[in-house]
């Protein structure tokens, strides 16, 4: 049995931080990092890593229809689609930064009201929908030709570097600006601002395109949590599961998405990141290493996507007896990734 864990956000995204993981009790992860075989991975967002694993072109794969297929209602859309995710833009010094919906606590009622307002003003460009409060979509009347940056690439960063470019980029930049005006003036945002909440003052367009004819499944069993990867699994002919712990996995090879540390890492939010990491140690790393030692697991692979260059570590049972391979801390690995 081979277990492959894909954990975005495990490499802490700041070279200037110290002590972010060394004080945590992570014996199984440290054993895996120290005894396993290391391979440097490409500099990628998690979406690009998943596209590569599904043997798809990371530059042209349409994230929007795949993610829409991965939502709870599993809606398959065979026409052009864009992600149009709600966000908050704010200035930090001279830079305009983007905060994604994961930080905004948008309610169902707020999403419905804002979507209705946008649809009333922008019916000429298509139809907006919000299957969940924090994930919105646009069914465009005309598919964009511009290059649109993924939300994960722009989150927490100066948006000027990630605005639509090439093709009809000016059309989409203007549309974003006009939507910002409508959102700014909406009563929902005046209420949020009065309550001390961040406003929902923009949408971020990304992931345009149509569903691919099919994708190639990277494993016989996919245990994933994000809608995008669930949609990829369905496009590959598999129905994904969502196990909470290692003990929930069925017998056989499996590829598991563990994304709990990813969102805190985007915002350098240390305490939630540490708490999620300890949960991963308890629920996944420790039982997986124990199963490897017991012989019920033959190989354990850990993939850590990162935009500066990721790592893949493979641990076999025989590696556990290499006493000269000492445990390695996550902080040591992170610092080495920036050297």
Pairing of strands 254-257, 2-6: parallel
| Per-residue pLDDT in tens (0 to 9) along the chain, 339 residues | 899 999 999 988 776 666 777 788 899 999 999 888 999 998 999 999 999 999 998 888 899 999 999 999 999 999 999 999 999 999 988 899 999 999 999 999 999 999 999 999 999 999 999 999 999 999 999 999 999 999 999 998 899 999 999 999 999 999 999 999 999 999 999 999 999 999 999 999 999 999 998 899 999 999 999 999 999 999 999 999 988 899 999 888 999 999 999 999 999 899 999 999 999 999 999 999 999 999 999 999 999 999 888 999 999 877 777 666 777 878 877 766 655
- Rounded CA gap, 90 and 102, in Å? 16
CB 29 within 8 A of CB 281: yes
Note the pLDDT of residue 280.
97
Residue 255 bridge partners (DSSP): 4, 222
Kindly list the domain boundaries of the chain, sorted by start residue.
2-59+215-337, 63-209
CB-based contacts of 148, cutoff 8 Å, min separation 6: 82, 164, 172, 205, 206, 207, 208
Note the pLDDT of residue 307.
86
- Rounded CA gap, 304 and 289, in Å? 17
Note the pLDDT of residue 4.
97
Closest CA to 63 of 183, 152, 191: 152
Query: Which superfamily does CATH assign the domain made up of 2-59+215-337 to?
Result: Alkaline Phosphatase, subunit A (3.40.720.10)
| DSSP class per residue in 165-216 | BSTTHHHHHHHHHHHHHHHHTSHHHHHHHHTTPPP--EEEEEEEE---S---
Note the pLDDT of residue 324.
65
Burial (CB count <10 Å: 0-12, 13-18, 19+), residue 294: exposed
Note the pLDDT of residue 213.
86
Sign of CA dihedral 271, 277, 282, 283: positive
Note the pLDDT of residue 335.
65
Pairing of strands 126-132, 95-100: unpaired
- Rounded CA gap, 151 and 147, in Å? 13
Note the pLDDT of residue 105.
97
| DSSP class per residue in 154-167 | HBTSBGGGTS-BST
């Amino acid at each position: 049995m081979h277990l492959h864990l894909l954990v975005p956000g495990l490499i802490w995204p700041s070279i200037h931080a110290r002590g972010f993981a060394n004080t945590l009790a992570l014996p199984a992860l440290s054993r895996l990092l120290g005894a396993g075989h290391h391979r440097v991975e490409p500099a990628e967002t998690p979406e690009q890593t998943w596209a590569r694993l599904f043997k798809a072109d990371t530059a042209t794969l349409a994230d929007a229809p795949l993610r829409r297929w991965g939502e709870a209602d599993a809606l398959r859309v065979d026409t052009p689609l864009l992600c149009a995710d709600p966000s908050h833009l704010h200035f930090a010094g001279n830079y305009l930064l983007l905060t994604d919906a994961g930080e905004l606590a948008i309610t169902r009622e707020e999403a419905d009201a804002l979507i209705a307002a946008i649809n009333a003003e922008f019916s000429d460009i298509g139809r907006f929908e919000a299957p969940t409060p924090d994930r919105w979509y646009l069914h465009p009347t005309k598919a964009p030709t511009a290059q649109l940056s993924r939300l994960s690439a722009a989150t927490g960063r100066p948006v000027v570097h990630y605005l639509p470019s090439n093709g009809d980029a000016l059309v989409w930049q203007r549309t974003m600006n006009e939507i910002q005006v409508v959102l700014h003036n909406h009563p929902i945002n005046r209420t949020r601002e009065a309550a001390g909440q961040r406003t929902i003052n923009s949408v971020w367009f990304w992931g345009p395109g149509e569903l691919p004819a099919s994708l190639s499944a990277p494993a016989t069993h996919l245990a994933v949590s994000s809608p995008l990867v669930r949609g990829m699994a369905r496009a590959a002919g598999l129905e994904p599961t969502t196990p909470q712990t290692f003990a929930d996995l069925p017998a056989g090879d499996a590829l598991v998405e563990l994304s709990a540390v990813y969102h805190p890492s985007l915002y350098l939010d240390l305490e939630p990141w540490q708490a999620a990491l300890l949960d991963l140690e308890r629920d996944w790393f420790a039982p997986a290493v124990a199963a490897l030692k017991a012989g019920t697991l033959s190989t354990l692979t850990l993939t850590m996507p990162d935009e500066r260059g990721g790592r893949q570590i493979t641990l076999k049972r025989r590696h556990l007896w290499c006493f000269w391979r000492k445990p390695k801390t996550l902080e040591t690995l992170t610092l080495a990734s920036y050297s």
